[in-house]
Structure 1
Amino acid sequence: MQTAEDVLGYWLDEVNEADWYRQDDAIDATIRERFLSTWQRAADGHLGLWLTCPSETLAYIILTDQFPRNMFRASGEAFSTDALALAAAKMAIDRDWDLRIDAPGRQFFYLPLMHSENLADQDRAVRLFHTRMPDAGAANLDHARAHRAIIRSFGRFPYRNDALDRPTTAAEASFLRDGGYGAMLRQVMAANA
């Protein structure tokens, strides 16, 4: 089993920031190989001790929010530990633990909120990026606003429907056909330029 330090060392030091949000089969395979069993332990409820300090909580959030998106890309399992990550993030933010982690790592406390299909979580993500990471650039805030706009429009992320075996509505199909997330991001960026 990997440690919290192993998770942070890999994600924050070994992986380039530019690779955090793009599809890369080699990174996906490395994460599966190195961290799948540790992720499974978290999914089974065995890593509660990681939730006792800021840095280990950050590692737990990365393990349960980011890594499954890489390990299980395009599958419903990619979102299977989102609730664990969201609960850990909310606890950490309420304790101001996020403020004890420098950018760019701090953003990972806010991503479970941005990944949530709950509008209140989306509003909080936008607020946190705006107030607690103002110097990190507009990109994070624009992405948070785009996620919120999609939840405002549909109440869920339509691009997850296939992976979660959910039916797609006509409005969602039109959104996906017309550029989906990328189109929404461009609208948000234009509106806030």
Structure 2
Amino acid sequence: MLSKLIIRMSITNTMALSEEILNFWFRGFTSETDYIKETGSFWWRTPPEVAEQMRNLVGNELENALEGRHDDWTETPRGTLALILLLDQWTRSIFKGTPAAFAGDLKAQAITLDAINKGFDKQLWPIQRSFLYMPLEHSELLEHHDLMLRLMNGLVEEARGDVKPIMEGFTRFEIMHRDLIVRYGRYPHRNPILGRQSTPDEEEYLKINPNPF
């Protein structure tokens, strides 16, 4: 009986964490237009103090997510989004400049594809869907970028009001990422971090674009 109670408490706590992650990332706003103006720099240029807040919020649960201990979150659209944020965004902020920054990529990509197959993406706001799809943009597989571009073009068509130009911006950013994959087959700026040897063409690119994103 006690063991069952402990299990239930553990499940409740981790699901509560998934909502905390969403509230942190989307700043607790309850409508899409409210947080669009508040979050741009927060999302794209995470300062060290915010990265520290992200680490403090999740503790060792990021490592647990990487090890598959929160895969049950994928049973709901919001839980799936929270897990993808952990694997795709938290890693990049907390482990920036190290190989661990990309440790969740393959898992996040698989979860994204599964969520799309389930139709979970259709149950989220366009901005939230953009982050659900983001692992495809971070992928080094061209097929993922082709899918990402189709999905983002669809969001541009669906979006209304202040949301539409934001979706157009997301789409332009995806095109920039896709162009790199078409040209190099990978992201050159990851080479030094991952210990990959850059080609002469990549070295020239990195001289001009040391920090492309």
Q: Same fold (TM over 0.5)?
A: yes
- For 1:41 and 1:92, the matched residues in 2 are separated by 20
Deviates more, 1:151-160 or 1:92-101: 92-101
Q: Which residue of 1 aligns with 2:70?
A: 47
Q: Which residue of 2 aligns with 1:121?
A: 144
* Contact 1:57–1:92 (8 Å) recurs in 2: yes
- For 1:47 and 1:64, the matched residues in 2 are separated by 11
Q: Which residue of 2 aligns with 1:100?
A: 123
Compute the displacement of 1:29 (Å). Answer: 1.2
Give the letter for the 2:178 counterpart: R
Q: Cα deviation per residue 1:22-49 (whole Å; 9 max; x = unaligned)?
A: 1411111111222241111111111111
- For 2:153 and 2:173, the matched residues in 1 are separated by 12
- For 1:120 and 1:151, the matched residues in 2 are separated by 10
Give the letter for the 1:4 counterpart: S
Larger Rg: 2
Q: How many equivalent pairs are there?
A: 183
* Contact 2:81–2:132 (8 Å) recurs in 1: yes
Q: Which residue of 2 aligns with 1:170?
A: 200
User: For residues 60 and 30 of structure 1, do their structure 2 counterparts lie closer, same or farther at Cα, with a shift above 3 Å needed?
Assistant: same
Greater share of residues in helix: 2
Deviates more, 1:90-99 or 1:8-17: 8-17
- Tell me, yes or no, if structure 1 residue 4 matches structure 2 residue 18: yes
Cα RMSD, aligned residues only: 1.8
- For 2:172 and 2:156, the matched residues in 1 are separated by 12
State the TM-score, normalizing by the size of structure 2: 0.81
Q: Which residue of 1 aligns with 2:104?
A: 81
- For 2:184 and 2:97, the matched residues in 1 are separated by 20
- For 1:89 and 1:121, the matched residues in 2 are separated by 10
- For 1:36 and 1:169, the matched residues in 2 are separated by 38
Match for 2:181 among 133, 148, 151?
151
Identity of aligned residues (%): 28
- For 2:154 and 2:121, the matched residues in 1 are separated by 12
State the TM-score, normalizing by the size of structure 1: 0.89
* Contact 1:51–1:57 (8 Å) recurs in 2: yes
User: For residues 25 and 48 of structure 1, do their structure 2 counterparts lie closer, same or farther at Cα, with a shift above 3 Å needed?
Assistant: same
Structure 2 residue runs of 5 or longer lacking an equivalent are 1-12, 29-34
Query: Displaced runs of 4+ in structure 1, greater than 4 A?
Result: none
* Contact 2:77–2:123 (8 Å) recurs in 1: yes
Give the letter for the 1:102 counterpart: W
- For 2:128 and 2:118, the matched residues in 1 are separated by 17
- For 2:143 and 2:23, the matched residues in 1 are separated by 32
Match for 1:31 among 54, 57, 69?
54
Deviates more, 1:61-70 or 1:10-19: 10-19
